[in-house]
Amino acid sequence: MDWQFALEVLIGGLLSGVMYSLVAIGFVLVYKSSGVLNFAQGAMVLFAALTFVSLVERGVPFALSLAITLAIMIAIGFAIEHAVLRPLVSQSPMTLFMATLGVSYVLEGSAQLIWGAEVHNLDLGISDEPLTLSGIDVSTFDLFAAAIAAAMVVGLILFFNWTRIGLAFRAAANDELAALAVGLRLERIGGVVWAAAGVVALIAGLLWGARTGVQFSLSLTVLKALPVLILGGFDSIAGAIVGGLLVGATEKLAEVFIGPMFGGGIESWFAYAAAMLLLLIRPSGLFGQKLIDRV
């Protein structure tokens, strides 16, 4: 075995996994605060990328397009929480999941109605040429994406540990009744969390759109995030990062070294098989909190 080649594959997989983590973080933010599995996150990624690239193609300056799209995604996050989730706050988890599924289709249809269905090329000005480090080729774009993800995680950690709304979010996530007892406004916390999910969707949409092109298949990134969430845990930001790294690394290594035994093509399903096995051993994921029902 060429160990240098294996290391190159491993590093490429880890950097690809960062892209999965960017989508998974949006899931974690919403699930941790409300227990809602936000299936609309993929559609939010699509809507953000399509809005940004359409504004740029119409001659709006890059920075202004980014600011406008950011404002739109924050507004969408607040609107989803206020108009859809808040009226259903006492409903079952399945009802809430179906509500986010409906929001997903509304966002996809709205994006097509407003911007059209054609494929767009998105250029962020980042070269994707390989960078050679100690004889190992690494994607420059993947390094940039990893740096963005690291900065976002640091920002979220600072937000949740050093701001009033972040501390309120953690309190509500740990015990909603206790949070209400001390006067915290849960509806305000919910709106901020959904707005944050919109911001995360914008970042993920720009990076995914620059890599694969802005097209409606971007909404399917939600499916890539599922094994990440199962491995890392639905309520852990650190788990989303570690889960993404594990999924990216294992699927690339499996495709290169195990795939030829099965005729190739196992990269598309290997992560789901690994996630299914983990569910049998640890249903809450590697970092997720084990739920205990008190009777």
Which structure tokens are listed for 27?
A: 């899931």
| Burial class of residue 20 (count of CB atoms within 10 Å of its CB; 0-12, 13-18, 19+) | buried
Residue 70 has pLDDT above 90, yes or no: yes
Band of pLDDT at residue 72, cut at 50, 70 and 90 = very high
Domain count, the chain: 1
175 pLDDT above the threshold of 70:
no
Q: Span 16-30, mean pLDDT?
A: 86
Average pLDDT, the chain: 83
pLDDT digits (tens, 9 = 90+) for 100-141: 999 999 999 999 899 888 888 888 887 777 777 667 777 788
- First CA to last CA distance, the chain: 55
What burial class does residue 276 get, using C-beta atoms within 10 Å of its C-beta: 0-12 exposed, 13-18 middle, 19+ buried? Answer: exposed
> Residue 258 domain-assigned?
no
What is the model's pLDDT at position 182? 60
For tokens 């491993």, name the residue. Answer: 10
Task: State mean pLDDT over 174-185.
Answer: 61
Which pLDDT value is given to residue 100? 92
Calculate mean pLDDT across residues 60-83. Answer: 93
Dump strand ranges (E) for the chain.
Answer: 130-133, 136-139
Model-level pTM? 0.85
CB neighbourhood size of 35 (10 A): 13
> Residues of the chain with pLDDT > 70: what percent?
88
Nearest to 193 by CA among 8, 36, 23: 36
Is residue 59 left, alpha or beta, with left meaning phi > 0 and alpha meaning psi from -120 to 50?
Answer: left
> Helix (H, G, I), strand (E, B), or coil: what is residue 128?
coil
Within-domain flag for 101: yes
Tokens linked to 164: 């009033």
The answer to which of 193-197, 215-219, 264-268 has the lowest mean pLDDT is 264-268
Higher pLDDT, 256 or 285: 256
What is the SS3 assignment for 241-273?
Answer: HHHHHHHHHHHHHHHHHHHHHHCCCCHHHHHHH
Contact 97, 84 (CB under 8 A): no
Query: Token pair of 218, please?
Result: 């971007």
63 CB burial (10 A radius; 0-12, 13-18, 19+): exposed
Range of the domain at 196: 3-218
Bridge partner list, 137? 132
Q: Does residue 246 lie in a domain region?
A: no
**Distance from C-alpha of 240 to C-alpha of 230, rounded to nearest angstrom:** 9
Model confidence pLDDT, tens digit, residues 204-255: 999 888 888 888 888 888 888 888 988 888 878 888 888 888 888 888 888 8
Partners of 214 in beta bridges: 120
The predicted structure's pLDDT at residue 295: 47
pLDDT band at 76 (very low <50, low <70, confident <90, very high): very high
d(CA 272, CA 266): 10
Percentage of residues in the chain having pLDDT higher than 90: 20
In this structure, is residue 282 part of a structural domain?
no
Which residue, chain included where needed, has tokens 């570690």? 242
* 212 within domain boundaries: yes
Q: Is residue 18 scored above 80 in pLDDT?
A: yes
